[in-house]
Chains A and B, each alone.
Chain A
Amino acid sequence: MSRILVVEDDVAIRRLAHDLLSDEGYEVATACTGQEALDLLAEWYPECPDLILLDLMMPVMDGETFYRHLPSEARSIPILVLSGSRGAREAAMRLGAAIIQKPFDLDDLLQRVESMLADAVATDPARIERLG
């Protein structure tokens, strides 16, 4: 069971992502700011989520700042940026993250999530071992 962290300030989208992914059988946690997300990661440590859905424009701590504050062992977590802002694509590239533009189709979102999780498993032997 993959664990997904959704970091999104918009309550409706947060709820949408949560309900969609939960319905697909993922374990989903949500945070409405970057700071909350860091707090959650710290709480889970040494467990890490398998994927982070990240909004970039958030109050208090935006997505980029959140990424810079990630502990080094959490940097390898695949990130899927959810954004509607204009500079999002460049920002996502800076983070080494994939991006899906708002508004998105739910099928697209699920497909991206699945493929990213599959890639991560294929390229991370430690995780394969652990998952196995």
Chain B
Amino acid sequence: MSQRGRLMLTLAAAMLPLVLLALGLLWRDAQAVENRIARDRVALAQAGALTVTAYLEGNLRTLQVVAAELAGVSPQEARTLQPWLSLKQQSNPWSGLGIHDSEGTRLVGTLQQSPEAPPVSISDRGYFQRVQETGEPTVSNAVIGRGTGRPTVVLAVPLPMADGERGVLVAPIHLESLSTGMLSALGADGVRVMLVDGAGQIVVHPDPEQVANLTSMADREEVLASQRGEMGSLIGDRGGVQRLVAYAPVPSVGWTVVISEPSSIAFAPARELLLQGAGLLGVTLVAVLAIGWVLGGLVSRSYASEQRARQDAELQRRSAQDSQQRYADLVDGLDGVVWEARADDLTFTYVSPASESVLGHPADYWLAGPSRWGDQMHPDDAAFTLEHCVAELREGHDHSCEYRAIHADGRVIWVADMIRATLSDDGSAQLLRGIMIDVTARHQVEEERTRLLSAEQRARAEAEDAVRSRDEFLSIASHELRNPVAAIKGTGQLIRRLADRGSLSERAEREYLDTIVRTSDRLARLVEDLLDVSRLRGDQFQLRMESIDVATLVREATSTEALAGREVRVDGLEHALELLADPDRVQQILQNLLENAAKYSPSSTPIDLVVRVEGGRLEVAVTDYGIGLPPGSERTLFTPFGRAPNAVSANIPGMGLGLYISRRLAEAHGGTLVVQSAGEGHGSTFRLLLPLAPVGDPNRAVGVMGGVTT
């Protein structure tokens, strides 16, 4: 629930008793007003009663005065007094005046009667009998006048007559006159002023009908109460209308004055008061609630803003705390050293605790000692890094650099240092702030990646080379194979062709056959060599390692047919030498070297073969004194089909596979084959280098034993 809502509820709750109280008071006031109104009405009724009393008393007194004047009159005298009576009657509000004898028979009256009519007697009338009995003046209840037919009350006083008899002087009063007087005195809008006689008949009423009919009100509560001598008020249903009825008795005659009006009119002031009060209360209530609402809004707003402000403050406090904590956590938890150093002499002014884990020294080490930024750098990187970094930073440029640093335990680590310069007013750097992060792992990964990448590139290049060289090899091989085949086939066809024509000389035939035989040999050797090359290239080359006596090996190699007639000078076989190698393959190498030496040198020149041992390796050097090698030809010499240009141009047959195969065989033994030449025409020296025994390299030994090596 909103603040405003709560406030409104509180306000309403607080106002409820007040409102109830106010309503109670209002109600009470209204009641009081009603009571006062009722009392007023009763007083009015009382006043009416007094008026009636005074009226009747006055008339009775006047009638008694008249009676006093007539006292002692005889009936005969009385019959003559009609003019005098008329005179008296006219000066009073009486409708007539008459003298009755003690029997009740009228002796004289102002009302004319026909002479033939029987004499009027009032002996049966109550007022006559009361006067006769009590000798007191009396007022009759209302009656319909015998002569007039109009409602009338009769005043009757005793009249002492001459014969000592008690006559009665009577004066009827038309009720209209009484009504008029009383209505004019008391009447108001909606207010009925009524007079009810002792018999309960209406004597005065605003409605003449009621009077004319002498409507009875004898059973009315107010009349009954009045006849008991009480006065008061009541609220009753009169003809369907709620009316305030006030009543007061007229004591002397037992009549009742009733003042009646609708409650709605009578109590209008009370109701008005109530309405006004309630209205006022309502207005007040609404006003209060409105003010409450507005205030509530304001309060709510201000409360909310205060609340917000408080929350903000709390948040700020917490965020300040947090940020401090966060800063500390960040700096301490960072896997990097946060540092600050003076820009001029690079001495540290702050070093975060992470320095212990990153560089191995605790923060105090850097701060306490005369250490400077750069001391942690690897000597090889320090000068360069500092020169570049400091120059940049002193200019006020931020700078990042990576260098090797020396960890306390002596390890070399890679550090990325991101440095920011804090500038003084003149724009020069005042403080350097930086963060050193150990990026050794990244460097290792990068190095590894670079290594892998280059290895992969190398592998790919090798693979491409292999493909290319295989293509090249096939291309050359097919050429080299097709040439002898073409020669053999062509020469054979030529022999037949010339023979058919009869133009084949015996000498030519022999030459052609020699060519075919020689070329077939060449083809056979070529096929053999190609098979070797193929095996060597395909890593399917198997060495059968044996312990060989080097002297035997050399002796066999030098005693081949190809060297027949050549001087081969062997040196270095004074001591017995054992070699662990494949005897057939080593023999193949040596023969190849010796045949080449013989092939590319004049037959008159010797061939030197020198054996020696150096650094656990056997070296066999084969030197000839022949055509030599042009500079730069060493490289092509050891490639498949590679031949020295001068060998080709000298028309010395050869396929350029022997040296390639020989070197590969030497390498397969863990050795090598190299060549030296002083140049074209200065002979060549080929050196075969082989390990005496593949010791100290078990992997290699295994590889060899496994039969797979390169």
B489–chain A nearest beta-carbon distance, Å: 5
The chain A residue sitting closest to B498, CB to CB, is: A23
Q: Find the B residue at minimum CB distance from A33.
A: B649
Within 8 Å by CB of A11, from B479, B486, B489, B651, lies B651
Q: B491: which of A12, A32, A35, A102 is its contact (CB, 8 Å)?
A: A12
Q: Quick check: B494 and A106 within 8 Å, CB to CB?
A: yes
Given A59-B643, A84-B478, A86-B474, also A102-B485 (CB < 8 A): yes
Closest residue on chain A to residue B497 by CB atoms: A106
Nearest B residue to A86 via CB reads B475
CB–CB A84/B483 < 8 A: yes
How distant is the Cα of A84 from the Cα of B503 in the complex, in angstroms?
A: 30
Interface residue? A10 (CB, 8 A)? yes
In-complex Cβ contact of B493 among A10, A32, A106 (8 A): A106
Assess the B485–A16 pair: CB atoms within 8 A: no
Q: Are B476 and A11 in contact (CB under 8 A)?
A: no
Considering only residues 31-83 of chain A, those with a C-beta below 8 Å from chain B are: 32-33, 35, 57-60, 83
Using Cβ atoms and an 8 Å threshold, which residues of chain A touch B485? Answer: 84, 102-103
Asked if B648 lies at the interface with its beta carbon under 8 angstroms from chain A, I say yes
Q: Taking the complex as formed, is A127 at the interface, i.e. its CB lies under 8 A from any CB of chain B? A: no
| A85 adjacent to chain B (CB < 8 Å) | yes
Query: Within the assembled complex, what's the spacing in Å between the Cα atoms of A32 and B650?
Result: 10
**Cα(A99)–Cα(B478), bound, Å:** 16
B490 close to chain A: CB less than 8 A: yes
* Chain A residue at smallest Cβ distance from B649: A60
Q: Mark B492-535, 1 if CB is under 8 A from A, else 0.
A: 01100110010100001000000100110000000000000000
CA distance A102 to B308 in the complex (A): 101
List A contacts of B648 (CB < 8 A).
Answer: 9, 32-33, 58-60
A105 adjacent to chain B (CB < 8 Å): yes
User: In whole angstroms, what is the CA distance A16 to B496 when docked?
Assistant: 13
Q: Is A87 positioned at the interface, with any CB of B under 8 Å from its CB?
A: yes
Instruction: Tell whether, in the assembled complex, residue A85 and residue B475 are in contact, meaning their CB atoms are under 8 Å apart.
Output: yes
Given A60-B649, A104-B490, check contact A15 B515 (CB 8 Å).
Answer: yes
- CB pair B494–A12 under 8 Å, yes or no, is no
Bound Cα distance from A7 to B341, whole angstroms: 81
Query: B484 contacts the other chain (Cβ, under 8 Å)?
Result: yes
CB contact list, A88-108 vs B, under 8 A: 101-106
Q: How large is the interface on A (under 10, 10 to 19, 20 to 34, 35 or more residues)?
A: 20 to 34
Measured CA separation A83–B475 after assembly (Å): 11
Render B634-667 as a binary contact track against A, CB cut-off 8 A, 1 for contact.
0000000001010011010100000000000000
Assembled-state Cα–Cα distance A102/B523 (Å): 15
Of A12, A23, A85, A105, which one neighbours B479 at CB under 8 angstroms? A85
Cβ contacts under 8 Å, A11 to chain B: 651, 653
Contacts of B490 in A (CB 8 A): 13, 16-17, 20, 103-104, 106
Complex: A16 Cα to B518 Cα, angstroms: 14
Nearest chain B CB to A21 CB, angstrom units: 11
A15-B515, A102-B486, A103-B485 known; A83-B479 Cβ under 8 A: yes
- B474 adjacent to A12 (CB under 8 Å): no
Number of interface residues of B (CB under 8 A): 33
Q: Mark B445-479, 1 if CB is under 8 A from A, else 0.
A: 00000000000000000000000000100111011
B478 touches A85 (CB 8 A): yes
**0/1 interface trace, chain B 223-250, chain A, CB 8 Å (1 if under):** 0000000000000000000000000000
A19 contacts B by Cβ under 8 Å: yes
Docked complex Cα distance between A121 and B645 (Å): 38
Answer whether residue B23 sits at the interface, using C-beta atoms and an 8 A cutoff. no
| In the bound complex, CA of A104 to CA of B494 (Å) | 12
In the complex, what residues of A have CB within 8 A of residue B653's CB?
11
| A19-B494, A57-B479, A59-B643 known; A84+B651 contact, CB < 8 A | no
What is the bound-complex CA distance between A20 and B489, given in angstroms?
Answer: 13
How far does the Cβ of B501 sit from chain A's closest Cβ, in whole Å? 8
Q: Which of chain B's residues has its CB closest to A35's CB?
A: B649
Complex CA distance for A93 and B626, rounded to whole angstroms: 41
Residues from chain B with a CB closer than 8 A to the CB of A35 are: 649
Which one of B475, B481, B494, B643 contacts A20 once the chains associate, using CB atoms below 8 Å? B494
CB-based nearest A residue for B519: A12
Let me know if A105 and B493 touch, CB within 8 A: yes
Q: Which of chain B's residues have a CB closer than 8 A to the CB of A103?
A: 482, 485-486, 488-490
* Residue from B486, B497, B518 within 8 A of A84 (CB atoms): B486
Known: A84-B481, A102-B486. A32 touches B651 (CB 8 A): yes
The reply to whether A86 and B487 contact each other, CB–CB distance below 8 Å, is no
Assuming the A-B contacts A59-B649, A60-B649, are A85 and B476 also in contact, with contact meaning beta carbons closer than 8 angstroms in the complex?
Answer: yes
User: Once the chains are docked, how many angstroms separate the CA of A11 from the CA of B476?
Assistant: 17
| Pairwise interchain contact A86-B478, C-beta atoms closer than 8 A | yes
Known: A60-B645, A106-B493. A16 touches B475 (CB 8 A): no
Contacts of B476 in A (CB 8 A): 57, 85
Q: How far is the CB of B483 from chain A (nearest CB, A)?
A: 4
A127 to chain B, nearest CB (A): 29
CB distance from A101 to the nearest CB of B (A): 8
Task: Point out the residues of chain B lying under 8 angstroms from A13, CB to CB.
Answer: 483, 486-487, 490
Encoded as 1 (CB less than 8 Å from any A CB) or 0, chain B from 304 to 325 comes to 0000000000000000000000
Q: With A59-B643, A84-B479 given, is the CB distance from A23 to B503 under 8 Å?
A: yes
Chain B residues whose CB sits within 8 angstroms of the CB of A17 once the complex forms: 490
Expressed in whole angstroms, the minimum distance between the Cβ of A90 and any Cβ of chain B is 11
For A15, the chain B residues whose CB sits under 8 A away are 515
For A9, the chain B residues whose CB sits under 8 A away are: 648
Expressed in whole angstroms, the minimum distance between the Cβ of B452 and any Cβ of chain A is 36
B431 to chain A, nearest CB (A): 71
Q: Kindly identify, within residues 593 to 617 of chain B, every residue whose CB is under 8 Å from any CB belonging to chain A.
A: none
**In whole angstroms, how far apart are the Cα atoms of A83 and B493 in the complex?**
18
Q: How far is the CA of A15 from the CA of B494 in the complex (A)?
A: 11
Q: Which chain B residue has the least Cβ–Cβ distance from A104?
A: B486
Closest Cβ–Cβ distance, residue B684 to chain A (whole Å)? 17
Residue contact B484 to A12, C-beta cutoff 8 Å: yes
Given A19-B494, A20-B494, A103-B488, 15 other A-B residues pairs in contact with their CB atoms under 8 A:
A9-B648, A10-B483, A11-B651, A13-B490, A15-B515, A16-B491, A19-B508, A20-B497, A23-B497, A32-B648, A35-B649, A57-B476, A85-B482, A86-B478, A103-B486
The 5 closest A-B pairs by CB, nearest first: A84-B482, A59-B648, A12-B487, A103-B486, A102-B486
Q: Which residues of B contact A (CB under 8 A)?
A: 471, 474-476, 478-479, 481-491, 493-494, 497-498, 501, 503, 508, 515, 518-519, 643, 645, 648-649, 651, 653
Could you write out 25 A-B pairs with CB less than 8 Å apart?
Answer: A10-B483, A10-B487, A12-B488, A12-B491, A13-B483, A13-B487, A13-B490, A17-B490, A19-B508, A20-B490, A23-B501, A59-B645, A84-B478, A84-B485, A85-B478, A87-B475, A101-B482, A102-B479, A102-B483, A102-B486, A103-B482, A103-B488, A104-B486, A106-B490, A106-B494
Contact surface of A with B, Cβ cutoff 8 Å? 9-13, 15-17, 19-20, 23, 32-33, 35, 57-60, 83-87, 101-106
